[in-house]
Chains A and B, each alone.
Chain A
Amino acid sequence: MSKKVSLSPAEREELLVRCFSSVLPALTIEEIRTASSDVPGIWDSLATVTLIAVVEEEFGIQIDQERVLELHSFAAWLNYIQEEVTREA
């Protein structure tokens, strides 16, 4: 696994949309961009665990378990990934 530092911010966002879409297939692209873990029945703890594994594999990063609770929306995930991928790059 290597960090996807070569991707532009827009490409990272596109890849994250694909990650979300694979884990939360019931959501449309528009719904993904505004998705939140507060919505019961769609984004549950199993989806979060799967999302962590998919994002770690796709972006080549290790997600800090301490910060998982902060990752309650697509926007929060995107911010976290932009921060992680560019950190120490």
Chain B
Amino acid sequence: MSTKDTRVELLQGTLDLLILRTLLLGPAHGHAITRAIEQSSDDVLQVEQGSLYPALHRLLKRRWIAFEHGTSENNRRAKYYRLTPKGRRQLTVETGKWETLAGAIARVLRPV
């Protein structure tokens, strides 16, 4: 577990991208999505858990993701979110945008 100093708050708007990316691996419930984001970033990225749900609903409304009810590993009913084809296309677009942005920022910050 990394120390508190190394944790980074998510940039505005990037949570949507991360959720889409996470769901590319398969349907997941809310808690699992947070966990996945945190683990795959080696705990660097901290999801403000509360902001996850408004973000999920934002994506639902745009029809990039859909949900269905399922039963989780320990036999509990849970709401599973999955990527829609539209969301899959959007993920490509968003990833492209992110890479452009990250590259640009990296170039700006590169020591002269």
Q: Is B one of A's binding partners?
A: no
